[in-house]
Structures are given as C-alpha cells and as structure tokens.
Chains A and B, each alone.
Chain A
Amino acid sequence: MTTLADQPVKALNGSFKLSMLLNDTRYRSLTFQFIALVAIIAFMAFVGGNLVRNLTEAGLNISYAFLGEPSGYDINQRPIEYDSQSSHGRAALVGLLNTLIVAFLACVTATIFGVIAGVLRLSNNWIVSKIMAIYVEIFRNVPVLIWILIIFSVMINVAPSPRDFRGDDPVASMMLFDSIAVTNRGVYLPKPVLGDGSFLVFGVFILSIIGIFAFRSYSRKQLFDHGRLIPTFWPSVGLFFVPAILMQLILGGPISLEYPALAGFNFRGGITILGSLIALWFALAIYTGAFIAENVRAGILAISKGQTEAAGALGLRPNRIMSLVVLPQALRVIIPPLISQYLNITKNSSLAIAVGYMDVTGTLGGITLLQTGRAIETILLLMLFYLTVSLLISFFMNIFNNRMKLQER
C-alpha cells in the first residue's frame, strides 16, 4: 500500500514533462478523459448552436410564455382544481400528477403480481408452475401498447354502460348493497364525507395502528426472550377495526358515505375511477409483473439450495422458509433489476393517450403542444419531467437497495 501511494507524490516532486501526459501510464488515462470531455462539450455546443441558429432563421424563438396562458381545454381526471380557463402550466401539472398516480398504482400492483408469479413458478406443483410460465411468456412477449388496447376494448365492450342501469328492470345492477357501479366508463365507489367529530375517529384509528405495532413488537419480544408464541393475527385485525368503528357508533356516525347514483347521463357522486386509468394501470401492472416474476425467480434461484434445506432441517414450514430465509436474501439480487422495471412502468405510462388517459404526455406533450405549436419547448419540458421522476425513483430505490444489501464489516 505505502509504495503505491508514494509514487504520485514522488512524481510531483520530480520534474514533470509534457510528454508524460502521453507516455506515462499514470497520466495517460487522465489525458484521454480530458480530451473526451472537451469533445463531448464541443459536440453539445455545436448541436445547441445549430438548433438556436435554425430557430432564429425560421423566425422562431424559445419561449415558455405559453405556460401562463389559458389552456382552453378540459381534462377528465383532475387531482387538483382545474378548468379550461386554467393555464397550460397547470394543465401540465395535472398531467404530471396523473402520470405519477398511474405509475405508483402500477408499480405496487406489478410488484405483487411479480412476486406471486415468480414464487409460484418455482412451485413443485406442475400445473401451478406451468400456468405461471405461460403467464410470464404471454405477457412479456406482446408489446405493452397491444395489452393496453386489448384490456381497454374488452372493458368498454363487456362492462355495461350507465344506460343499462336505468329502468324498472335494468340489464345491469350495482354491487355490494347498491354502493359500487362497474360501467364501461369507469368504476364508481362511495365517497367518505367527513362530518363534525370525524377527527376523533381518525385519532382513534391512528392510535389503534400504533397499538398494533406495539402489540407485535411485544409478542416478538415474548417469543425471543421467553419462547412464548402469542397469536398476533386476529388481535391485530380486531385492533384495526373495532376501536374506530366503536368511536364512529358512539359519536353517531360523523363519517358518512356518499353513494354514486344515476343522474342524467352518468353516475354522479362518490369517487370515480376512470376506465382509461383502470385499463392502463392493469395493463402496465400485468405486463411489467411478468418481468418482475422473472427477476424474483432469478433471485430465488440465486440462493443456494442448502439454505432451504438447512431451514427445513430446523423445522420451519415452507412458507416461513420462503418469507424468513429465502426472500430476504433474494431481495439483494431482485432489487437492482426491480428499479429498472419501476422506471419502465413510469416511462411506459406515456402510452396513456392510446386509451385517452390524460397523463403529462397527453396534456403538455399532446394538446398543449398542438394548440400552441411550441414543439421544442414542450418536448424539452417533457424530457425534464420524465428525467426528474426517473432519477427520483432511482434515488429512493437505491437507498432501499443499500439498506437491504449485505452489510460488510
């Protein structure tokens, strides 16, 4: 170690000649890196300069002033307040939120699909493992756009339209005590309406969740310290529901539900989940789930069989072997490719316009671009949006990865 570290110091002390930049292996790599850097900067400057020159020649200028002008169009899914008088910038923000909503939902669902399919594909049950193999091969070998379109057209053709709910003897009817309506325009769910005192119910609910965690750590402590196995499942379920429901009853129902009801052309009231969101969400989840299943399978196969056998020899049941021994170790192999899959979901969500879901590509990169004609500005902004979102996902997943990886001391 000492000799290696001493060398550069000596060289600095000694005479430095220009020729050493090429001939000396210690400097040569630095020289080439520097040349490459200069070349890249020069290339970017040329491309940028070319763009600006051509724009000026065509009489166009880069301006983001249009972001402040009224957009003039309506958006069907609005997570924040928006109407046709709002600005193009706000329309872009609505689109961005819609992108994040579908990406988040699809990431969670794809992970669930992927883990289940990946584990089951290694099942000893021949039928189960073959079914999972078929799922993986069918879904990952057909382009996701095709899946989005297939799922969407099946949905709009199979689900009843709101008209079918009308009349004395309707063709379709609502589910679960007339609270949920599944139509080809989307799913209508009851919406909780918060009345006076609902914060008390919430407070009790949060307290009972804290209680569940406390109870679980207590039972774990009992298991490790005294070897007593306390059942946790049913008490947790009880803690989750009972206190909050009791509080709701005592206070005379501060939280009520607003049910969707047929009014005019559509169902009104309640929460609407648009059909386009469902189709896009489900298609992205089931498509990416197939890839994640393969990652999970690879991760599990990377854990030596001896681990499973050793755990079995200790008397653990198969599902505990999987959740306590194999999966925690497999996660180290699974997480890095999983990050790529999450990024893929986010970027693939830009196919949303195929089913009319207004994501950021549909608002900023679609209608705004067409109405203002500001192609370069909107595309640059879009690239910036996707880059930022992707880098943020990478950042948080890498933190998670660092926590899960083998801690070397």
Chain B
Amino acid sequence: MKKTVFFGALATAALASGVASAATLDEVKARGKMNCGVTTGVPGFAEPDANGVWQGFDVAVCRAVAAAVLGDSDAVEFVPTTGKTRFTALASGEIDMLARNTTWTFSRDVDLKFEFTGVNYYDGQGFMARRDLGVTSAKELDGATICIQTGTTTELNLADFFRGNGISYEPVPVETGAEAAQQYTAGSCDAYTTDASALAAQRANFEDPTAHIILAEIISKEPLGPLVRHGDNEWGDIVRWTLNALIAAEELGVTSANLAEMAAGTDNPEINRLLGSEGNLGGMLGLDSDWAERALAVAGNYGEIFDANIGESTLINLSRGLNAQWTEGGLLYAPPFR
C-alpha cells in the first residue's frame, strides 16, 4: 500500500510538473548536471563498476549527451530505475532522459507522451534455458515455468507467442533482472525470457555460462533507445542528434584515435560539419560548435562503445548483427549532417 501511495503521489507530481518544465536544456545547464535514468544493473549496458562509477553501453549515451551539453562527461547523475518506475521518473522530471533498454512502441510514444530519440540497439525477445533441459526451440517449452520481468513489453509478447503456437506456460513475474536471474539459477523457473541482449549480459555473470543456451527463436522486435519527455523538442533534438553523431562518426571513420586530427579540418565536408570546423550545426541545437567532438571524445564512436561494453571481446560477447552500419548489412543509419 505504501508503495501504491508513493506511485500515486509520483504520478500526480508527474502530471503537475510535466507541463511546467519546458526548457530542459536551460534547467540542465543551470543545475550543472544531467539526470539520466538507467537500469538497476544489467552488465554491459549499465552497471556501476568496482569503484562505483557507472559503465556500460546505455551509460555511454548519457555521458555523450552530458559532454555535448555541459562539456563534462562526469556531470551525470545516474538514477537507477526499474521497469515500473522508469516512466514516472521521466514524466515527473526526476530524470532528463531515459537510457534504459526501453522498447520503442506506439503506445509509449503516443499515449504515454514520450519522445523516442532513436534506436541505439536493435533487439528482440529471446529465451534462455539450461542446456541439460534438452530444449532447442521455444516451441518445445509447452507447460514450462517461465520467469518474466513485469511491466515490460516482454510479458505481452510472451502471452502472444504461446497463444499463437497453442501451447501453455506458467508465468513467474519478477521485478528486476537480478531477481529473475536468482530464481532462474535456483531452478524455480525452467526458462527466462527478456531481450536477447540482456540474456547474454546476464548469462555472462552466471557461474557457468556454458551450461545455459539462448534459444534460436527471437519472438519480437525490440528497438531499444533513449527517450525524453514529449513537448520539449529542443532537448529531444539534442539527445537525438548526439546519438546520430555517435553513429555517423563510425560510418565516417571518426574514432577516438583520429578525433583531434579530424576536428582540425578534413577534405570531407560532412565530417567538418559534424565536428564543427564548417557550418554552425551546434548553434542550431543551442550548443557550441564543438558539441559533437566532445561527445565523441568520451568513449569514441558507436562502434567503439559497442566493442568496449558488449562486443565480441567482452564477456557479454554480442555480435553486431542488426546493429552494424547500413553499409555493412545492419540497420544503423544516421540521417545526414547538413
């Protein structure tokens, strides 16, 4: 009940303040810090390291935005949110942006009044099961007990998938990924379903990752991306184009190694426009001309961030797949900087 009242108060506060806060950019500048909503801890995507510093793929987007806006990639207050609290936190103004494995759906965009600023990871819902269970396909999971994170799109996809295939299951709703992993490893559910990237991330933390397999079926489209409140288009543009800058930089071959050299001016006008040596794209955003350079200086371009946090050299071991550049058969396609 206490929790309920708390949500009620939050929701009311959300509606009271959602209208008032229009100029997020000014607010963030005045505060000197950006509040970024992240998960409560998914390895590779957002998790505090041994020193308590947040690291990860989603965290890198927050840091890039903070660097572009405030000039300091550490001027970010990371606010851990659960599947349940994330939207209220964003709507109430507690956080300025949400970078938390959040699926871009119609109702979230339109009905919940948020604005998705792009996709930083193309994902799909998968299943993980113990290898010795002998299951190779999700269609063999008839009658199985399945752990799901509640308050996410996954429980709707799951219901649809099992109904569509005419098989039954027992749902075990859990609140956080950590709880799900605890129940799954204790054997109180046969399979665990969530976005395939998160499955890979959590499996990396298990005692014996090889004892678990991720089943072949991907049962949904889950475009994950950062989002902001509806109605503040200037702030939305900043987040959208910072993400696009990271993606475009990879396509254009701008890396953290050659960034300083490129920023001085190149033969490629698009790189020049992106990094501010030509034109005034930064000014149009309400920032200065070095905004993209600062964002790229934090951890490099999209590809570098991917490789460092969740790529094949890390424990999480995700291949680029759909998340390769469009020139390499993937879906990443940043609109032109012009």
Pair B4/A379 contact, Cβ less than 8 Å: yes
Verify if B212 is at the interface (C-beta below 8 Å from A). no
Cα A371 to Cα B87 in complex, Å, equals 11
B152-173 residues at the A interface, CB under 8 angstroms: 152, 155-156, 158-160, 162-163, 169-173
Taking CB atoms, residues of chain B closer than 8 Å to A365 are: 4, 7
Asked if B15 contacts A58 (CB within 8 A), the reply is: yes
* Docked-complex contact A350 and B155, CB < 8 angstroms: no
Which residues 334-389 of A have a CB within 8 angstroms of B?
347-348, 350-351, 353-354, 356, 358, 361-362, 365-367, 369-373, 375-376, 379-380, 382-383, 386
Is there an interface contact between A376 and B15, defined as CB atoms closer than 8 Å?
yes
Binding site secondary structure of chain A: helix
Closest Cβ–Cβ distance, residue B87 to chain A (whole Å): 7
Q: Are A264 and B3 in contact, CB atoms less than 8 angstroms apart?
A: no
CB distance from B314 to the nearest CB of A (A): 30
Contact (Cβ within 8 A) A75 B171: yes
Are the C-beta atoms of B83 and A370 separated by less than 8 Å?
yes
- Find B150's partner among A58, A351, A367, A386 (CB 8 Å cutoff): A367
Q: CB of B23 within 8 A of chain A?
A: no
What's the interface size class on A, roughly? 35 or more
A35 within 8 A of B: no
- From B12, B170, B183, A76 is in contact (CB under 8 Å) with B170
Partner of A265, one of B111, B143, B152: B143
User: How far, in whole Å, are A83 and B155 apart by their CA atoms in the complex?
Assistant: 13
Q: Does A51 contact B (CB under 8 A)?
A: yes
Q: Which of these, B16, B107, B152, contacts A373 with CB under 8 Å?
A: B107
**Are B156 and A73 in contact, with the CB atoms below 8 A?**
yes
**Is the beta-carbon distance between B187 and A361 smaller than 8 angstroms?**
no
List of B residues within 8 angstroms of A75 by Cβ: 171
Instruction: Say if the beta carbon of A60 comes within 8 Å of chain B.
Output: yes
The answer to the question of B216 belonging to the interface, with a C-beta cut-off of 8 Å to chain A, is no
A59 at the interface (CB under 8 A from B): yes
Q: Which residue of B lies closest to A159 (CB)?
A: B188
Residues of B within 8 A of A353 (CB): 150, 173, 175
Indicate if the CB atoms of A263 and B187 lie closer than 8 Å.
no
Mask of A41-73 contacts with B, CB within 8 angstroms, 1/0: 000000000110011011110000000000011
**Is A114 part of the contact surface with B, judged by Cβ < 8 Å?**
no
A 213-269 contacts with B by CB, 8 A: 263-266, 268
* Cβ proximity bits B170-181 to A, threshold 8 Å, 1 near / 0 not: 111111000000
CA distance A348 to B3 in the complex (A): 10
> Chain A residues near B189 (CB, 8 Å)?
185
Q: Give chain B nearest CB distance to A141 CB in angstroms.
A: 18
Evaluate contact between B188 and A275: CB separation under 8 angstroms. Answer: yes
Rounded to whole angstroms, the CA-CA distance of A100 and B157 in the bound complex is 29
Q: Does B19 lie at the interface of the complex (its beta carbon under 8 Å from any beta carbon of A)?
A: yes
Give the complex CA separation of A84 and B155 in angstroms.
Answer: 10
Task: Decide yes or no whether B34 CB sits under 8 A from chain A.
Answer: no
CB within 8 Å of A: which B245-295 residues? none
**A350 in contact with B4 (CB, 8 Å):** yes
Distance of A163 Cα from B131 Cα, bound (Å): 13
Q: Across the interface, which residues of B come within 8 angstroms of A382, CB to CB?
A: 4
Q: Contact between A59 and B8 (Cβ–Cβ < 8 Å)?
A: no
Contact residues in B for A72 (Cβ distance below 8 Å): 156, 159-160
Q: Is A179 in contact with chain B by the CB < 8 A criterion?
A: no
Q: B19, A375: Cβ atoms under 8 Å?
A: no
Q: Which residues of A contact B144 (CB under 8 A)?
A: 264-266
Q: Which parts of B1-43 form the interface with A (CB within 8 Å)?
A: 1, 3-4, 7-8, 10-12, 14-16, 18-19
Q: In the complex, A47 Cα to B112 Cα: how many Å?
A: 23
Chain A residues positioned under 8 Å from B160 (CB to CB): 72, 84
Q: Are B8 and A379 in contact, with the CB atoms below 8 A?
A: yes
- Known pairs A72-B159, A84-B163, A265-B145; A58 contacts B183 (CB<8 A): no
| In the complex, residue of chain A having the shortest beta-carbon distance to the beta carbon of B112 | A373
> Complex Cα distance A370/B173, Å?
14
Is there contact, CB below 8 Å, between B15 and A60?
yes
Question: Is the pair B4, A58 in contact by a Cβ cutoff of 8 Å?
Answer: no
A153 near B: Cβ within 8 Å?
Answer: yes
Q: Is B53 an interface residue (CB 8 A)?
A: no
For A157, the closest partner residue in chain B by CB is B186
Q: CA–CA, A265 to B140, complex, Å?
A: 10
- Closest A-B pairs by Cβ, 5 of them: A161-B187, A375-B11, A84-B159, A379-B8, A370-B151
Enumerate 13 A-B pairs (CB-CB under 8 Å) in ascending A order: A59-B113, A84-B163, A85-B163, A266-B143, A266-B145, A351-B3, A356-B183, A366-B84, A370-B150, A375-B7, A375-B8, A379-B4, A383-B8
Residues of A within 8 A of B (CB): 50-51, 54-55, 57-60, 72-76, 83-85, 153, 156-157, 161, 163, 184-185, 263-266, 268, 275-276, 347-348, 350-351, 353-354, 356, 358, 361-362, 365-367, 369-373, 375-376, 379-380, 382-383, 386
